[in-house]
Structure 1
Amino acid sequence: MPDVLFSDAESSVVVSNNEKEHRYEISVAGETAGHMGYRVIGNRRVLMHTVIYDAFRGQGLSNVLIKSTLDFLRIHGNTISNYCPVVDGFIRKNPEYVSLVDVKHSGTWVSPSSI
């Protein structure tokens, strides 16, 4: 059974870690609505892509998936290398997550201060 990162009974939204598939998943009322692929390198998670399936778009689910994932990784002392433009945009709008980006292995992340 995947680890639950976030659960909201009122909206029936659950975010979980499917370690077998190497992805964080978001579901609504038990139906998978999207996922974020990742790789594990030591204590670092390499975030590859975020997908919200067509039937679930426009509900803010990518933000719930990303925030829940980043909060989970922060609590567990992980860092990230980011290759997902959606995660990049989320971090730019929520700079409190910049500290999760691995300085030596940032992925495609470009610090706002260097732009």
Structure 2
Amino acid sequence: MPDAQVLHVTRDDTSHRYEVSVDGETAGFIDFIEGDGTLAMTHTEVFEAFRGTSAARTLAADALADVAARGLAVIPLCPYIARYLSRNEVADLEVLWPERS
């Protein structure tokens, strides 16, 4: 049985993104724009070498849990984050769904 991978999610306020690393190597990110009591998630990307792993799911779960812990409402502009939220509950997270035209 192969060793389990170590995934770690961090928030980088300078770059306005959450990043996920797998065994110490950057595997992907979520870009965000923070506003007055809100955090809009605009883009999620997981690098090709890490697709098919749990990196994207872990990144979304941990980032959204952090948004909830900060008392912010999330605006899911990124399709991946919107899909994640439509399938998963995040405790204490307020979701402000963007209007569709």
Q: Does 1:89 align with 2:83?
A: yes
Q: What secondary structure is seen at the aligned counterpart in 1 of 2:68?
A: helix
From the two aligned structures, give the one with the greater helix fraction.
1
Unaligned residue ranges in structure 1 (runs of 5+): 1-9, 110-115
Which has the bigger relative contact order, CA under 8 A and spacing at least 6?
2
TM-score (norm. length: structure 1): 0.76
How many residue pairs get matched?
97
Partner amino acid for 1:107? Answer: P
Partner amino acid for 1:63? Answer: R
User: In the alignment, what sits opposite 1:31?
Assistant: 25
5 Å matches for 1:1-115? 11-96=5-90, 99-102=93-96, 106-107=97-98
* Identity of matched residues, %: 26
Task: Note the aligned Cα RMSD (angstroms).
Answer: 1.9
Once residues 9 and 77 of structure 2 are traced to their aligned partners in structure 1, the CA distance between those partners, rounded to angstroms, is 20
TM-score (norm. length: structure 2): 0.86
Q: What secondary structure is seen at the aligned counterpart in 1 of 2:57?
A: helix
Partner amino acid for 2:86? Answer: R
The structural deviation recorded for 1:95 is: 3.9
The structural deviation recorded for 1:17 is: 0.2
Once residues 99 and 44 of structure 2 are traced to their aligned partners in structure 1, the CA distance between those partners, rounded to angstroms, is 14
Unaligned residue ranges in structure 2 (runs of 5+): none
- Choose 88-97 or 72-81, whichever is displaced more: 88-97
The structural deviation recorded for 1:11 is: 2.7
